[in-house]
């Protein structure tokens, strides 16, 4: 009887071990097949079209002037389309406009050399790009998905391919507009008539203006001291500081800074965080500028648009 029990126990163990090995073999085969299937890489095509295309983004809007009646006019903005990946079935990338980065996915028509690119659709500013490629240029249209949510539901694009390059020598040009049009401030002023001697008060809207210091001080190349900054205007220091980030391709949310750097031909927005790209010198200068900006004053003046 004892011998029979030992025999039965050994048989069960052998049977269990065999099943376990069979299961392990089956699972290993399944895992191997899954890994092989998951490791299939969809081949990329037309890598020569990858890159950043920048240019005008124009649409008709109702414009409200400071004086006079509303009228319909063309408003120009800057836009960047980044094409990151093209396969037989899909195109992937991002659009950047007004400091907002939106992903897109679409298709490429090889015969027509044209793209249809859709933004996600979960933001009121999303839409569809239909653009045609010619050498290093992209031209076409953008149509908003929600045509009542945006001022200009149809926009025209004229873009040229550009290559982002960091260059510490990049500066604003003396030809650039140094007025901050985004933050006007009202001042109460007095006017005295010379003949009657009567004094009247009125409200004047003025804008911040930078000085030519922004053409001379480069926070990416020279070590700044308190002496360099103590007589500068607040806007001067803001431009000098943000020139560091602009050189690294930072995409500005604030229109004030976008407007300054979009006037140049070297500014190419590529990222919403470039902190790790800054050199030790740049980090040190940015910290010093930030301290001075906190307590600096602005210079305001009156300008017509």
| CB of 88 closer than 8 Å to CB of 42 | yes
All structural domains of the chain:
47-162 (2.40.128.20), 179-301 (no CATH)
**What DSSP letter does each residue of 262-279 carry, written as one string?**
TTSSS----BS--GGGS-
Helix pair 234-247, 280-293: axis angle to 10 deg: 150
Helix (H, G, I), strand (E, B) or coil at 198: coil
10-residue block means of pLDDT along the chain (305 residues)? 44 47 50 51 94 97 86 95 96 96 97 97 96 97 96 97 97 95 90 82 91 96 96 97 98 95 95 96 98 94 73
Q: In degrees rounded to 5, what are phi and psi of residue 92? A: -125, 145
Segment 23-35, tens digit of pLDDT:
544 555 545 544 4
Evaluate if pTM is beyond 0.85.
Answer: no
* pLDDT of 302: 84
* SS (HEC) of 43-69: CECCHHHCEEEEEEEEEEEEECCCCCC
Return d(Cα 81, Cα 137) in angstroms, integer. Answer: 11
Segment 71-121, tens digit of pLDDT:
999 999 999 999 999 999 999 999 999 999 999 999 999 999 999 999 999
Percent of the chain with pLDDT over 70: 86
**Beta-carbon count within 10 A of 243 CB:** 23
Q: Is 292 left (phi over 0), alpha (psi -120 to 50) or beta?
A: alpha
* pLDDT of 89: 94
Strand partners of residue 301 = 207
């Amino acid at each position: 009887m004892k011998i029979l029990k030992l025999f039965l126990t050994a048989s069960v163990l052998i049977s269990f071990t065999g099943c376990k090995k069979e299961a392990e073999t089956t699972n290993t085969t399944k895992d191997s097949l899954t890994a092989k299937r998951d490791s299939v890489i969809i081949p990329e095509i037309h890598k020569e079209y990858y890159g950043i295309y920048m240019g005008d983004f124009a649409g008709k809007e109702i414009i409200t002037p400071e004086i006079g009646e509303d009228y319909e006019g063309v408003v120009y903005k800057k836009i960047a389309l980044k094409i990151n990946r093209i396969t037989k079935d899909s195109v992937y990338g991002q659009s950047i406009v007004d400091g907002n980065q939106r992903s897109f996915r679409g298709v490429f028509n090889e015969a027509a050399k044209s793209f249809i690119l859709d933004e996600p659709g979960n933001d009121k500013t999303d839409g569809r790009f239909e653009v045609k490629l010619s050498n290093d240029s992209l031209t076409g249209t953008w149509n908003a998905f929600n045509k009542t949510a945006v001022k200009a539901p149809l926009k025209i694009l004229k873009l040229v391919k550009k290559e982002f390059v960091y260059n510490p020598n990049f500066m604003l040009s003396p030809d650039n507009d140094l007025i901050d049009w985004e933050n006007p401030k009202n001042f109460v002023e007095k006017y005295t008539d010379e003949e009657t001697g009567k004094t009247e008060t009125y409200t004047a809207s003025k804008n911040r203006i930078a000085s030519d210091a922004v053409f001379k001080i480069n926070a990416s190349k020279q070590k700044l001291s308190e002496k360099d900054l103590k007589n500068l205007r607040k806007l001067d220091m803001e431009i000098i500081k943000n020139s560091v980030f602009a050189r690294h391709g930072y995409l500005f949310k604030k229109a004030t800074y976008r407007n300054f750097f979009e006037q140049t031909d070297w500014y190419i927005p590529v990222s919403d965080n470039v902190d790790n790209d800054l050199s030790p010198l740049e980090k040190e200068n940015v910290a010093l500028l930030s301290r001075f900006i906190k307590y600096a004053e602005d210079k305001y003046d009156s300008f017509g648009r």
